[in-house]
Amino acid sequence: MCLPVVPGQEPKGVSLFQPRCSNGAQVSSWPRFDSLGDLVANSRWARYFLSVYGELPMARDFPVCTFDFWSIDKPKLDAAGITTPSPVRKRVQPRYNERRFNWTDGELFGRYHEDNPQFYHGFAIYHSDRPYVKHNQWVEVTHHRATNTRGTADEASGRGANMWFTYTPGSGVWYWTGRTGLFDSHDAAARALCHNVTSAKWLRTALIDDGFLSVCARRAGFDTIAFRSSRMKIQNKSCELHDLVRCPAIVTTSGTVATMGMVGMLELFAPRLAGRWSCGQRASGGKPLARFLVLIHGWSGSCRYFDSTIDAIAARTGGTVYAYDLRFHGRSDKPSWGFHVHRLAADLHDFLTELQIQQPVVVGTSLGCAIIWAFIELYGDDMLHKCVFVDQAPSQWIFSDWSFGSKGIYDPASLAKIQGALFAGMDSFAKGNAECCLSHTLPGPLMELLAQETLRCDPEHLARLMADHAPRDWRPVLRRVSRPCLNLYGTDSGCFPVEGTRAVGELIPDCENVPFDGCNHWLYLEAPERFAQLVGDFALRASS
């Protein structure tokens, strides 16, 4: 399990400022603070802590040695006026070709991906001491890479998937090690874990293929594999990266001296992680200052409908924003059962529970609103922090006491009409659906993406799901919502009259109504900047 830490929601036994002062002293120009008074007296570092973590350490966290953070937010370090002990060195890891030089504890360097230097891992402080992890321990990490390679789940079928991390205190992203194995190298792990397989080819493949190694590690019952060293090659030469500190210099065929390595970083291999939520997206806005946010798309859409807003929301909140494909939509499974809003609400509950997303701000668009309302009806709203609803009426159906339902699906006859349009052809349905939900012209590539995502759906699945969704009346549930809510609606919605969407904010006790003048049902696509600003500011706003 890997999750960012929100102030006040730290995993058991963990604070934002652990572990600290492993060496017990100040190193280079990285200061040590023995009390909150010491830190506040150094206003620059106090400013850095506030900007990165959103709070200052508590009394229990001291002493704090900044040298032990490893991961440093360099732009915010500069903004706080803190001078680094030496010029930042660029470090491409693990492949690296340049003249060897000595490293000194406390030097700040930039870390880049081995195959693509544009894939940047941030800034780290050099440590000569080899780090160490053990069973069932929370450790801070940065993502190195995820792989889903040609490895198979057994010798006949399936796929292997995994995640690679680098041990990086100060990153603000915590990983639970579980049952941990420590090996001298990748080769040693493959030979130890895959020794009893029936195929020699399997073992040979495990030495070079992460997927096969992950299968062997899972069979052996490990949640994490840590490596003391790595074996890598430069120009057909190889060397052992002892203690993951520095590799002995080697002379290449051209006569130049080359070095390579992880520079004091411990590599961690998680054979059970990748692929468990492969249909989801995750955008990190750096150190989490706000709550988690979960974006829930509407009927016939997908998580890709949030492509133009998810990163902006993450950047504005400083937290982590998730978007996932609903059952029957996008890249998620499309089973032959479960065509009920409450089944989708149970899926949301499973999603939050599995990823341990605590107290999120949930954002529902269209059907996504009904999923949140069904979630509250089933589980209450104690698991949620705040709710945002986007252009959905309390009921699409028209009743004797409710005349503000959907403009197009409001009784059995109109439901049958939209179901007929689905079966008549998904291409024409996707085009008509966009014409109904948009008042503004969107860029051609975006329009093509929206259509492609709709075409991933099965018309029978959509028809059966709408038959459950449209007749429901959520007005009794809305009156019971106790969380702060924000209700956004388009004044030019092709799906609902303004009186219907505005009623959501009028029925919920603590809800703010915000109209999007001139916008339609997909207002988050028509006004993405305003949408991201409103959602981000609402998420950060202190509850009354």
Q: Six-digit token pair at 105?
A: 């504890």
Phi, psi angles (nearest 5°) of residue 225:
-120, 130
Q: 190, 269 in Cβ contact below 8 A?
A: no
| Nearest C-alpha neighbor of 339 from the set 331, 330, 347 | 347
Domain spans, the chain: 23-128, 129-146+161-200+207-231+256-275, 292-540
Judge whether residue 93 has pLDDT over 60. Answer: no
- Show the CA angle centred on residue 272, arms to residues 269 and 277, nearest 5°: 120
Residue 122 near residue 134, CB atoms below 8 Å: no
How high is the pLDDT of residue 154?
40
Q: Are 280 and 357 in contact (CB under 8 A)?
A: no
What is the CATH topology of the domain spanning 292-540? Rossmann fold (3.40.50)
* pLDDT (0 to 100) of residue 120: 46
- What pLDDT does residue 74 have? 82
Mean pLDDT score across all residues of the chain? 77
Q: Alpha-carbon distance 426 to 420, whole Å?
A: 11
Q: What pLDDT digit, counting tens, does each position of 510-540 carry?
A: 999 999 999 999 999 999 999 999 999 999 8
CA distance 179 to 323: 30
DSSP one-letter string for 478-532: HTT--S-EEEEEETT-SSS-HHHHHHHHHHSSSEEEEEETT--TTHHHHSHHHHH
Helices 459-469 and 412-424, packing angle to 10 deg: 170
**Comparison of pLDDT for 170 and 512, the residue scoring more:** 512
pLDDT digits 0-9 by tens, 276-314:
322 233 333 333 345 689 999 999 999 999 999 998 898
Lowest-confidence pick of 66-70, 214-218, 411-415, 496-500? 214-218
Write out the H or E segment, with its range, that includes residue 538: helix 528-540
Q: What is the mean pLDDT of residues 211-234?
A: 68
Task: Kindly give, in sequence order, each residue whose CB lies less than 8 Å from that of residue 520, ignoring residues fewer than 6 positions away.
Answer: 437, 438, 439, 440, 490, 492, 493, 494, 526
pLDDT for residue 143: 65
The mean pLDDT value for 505-509 works out to: 96
Residues 6 or more apart from 322 whose CB is under 8 A from it?
280, 281, 282, 292, 293, 294, 295, 351, 355, 357, 360
Q: Residue 272 above 70 pLDDT? A: no
Which residues are CB-neighbours of 413 under 8 A, at least 6 positions away? none
230 vs 109, residue with greater confidence: 109
Q: What is the Cα 42 distance to its own chain's centre?
A: 34
pTM across the whole model: 0.53
The span from the first CA to the last CA of the chain, in angstroms, equals: 33
Measured CA to CA, the distance from residue 512 to residue 499 in angstroms comes to 15
Q: What is the pLDDT of residues 449-505, one digit of tens each?
A: 999 999 999 999 999 999 999 999 999 999 999 999 999 999 999 999 999 999 999
Cα three-residue angle 389-395-400, rounded to 5 degrees: 150
Q: Where is pLDDT greater, at 442 or 160?
A: 442
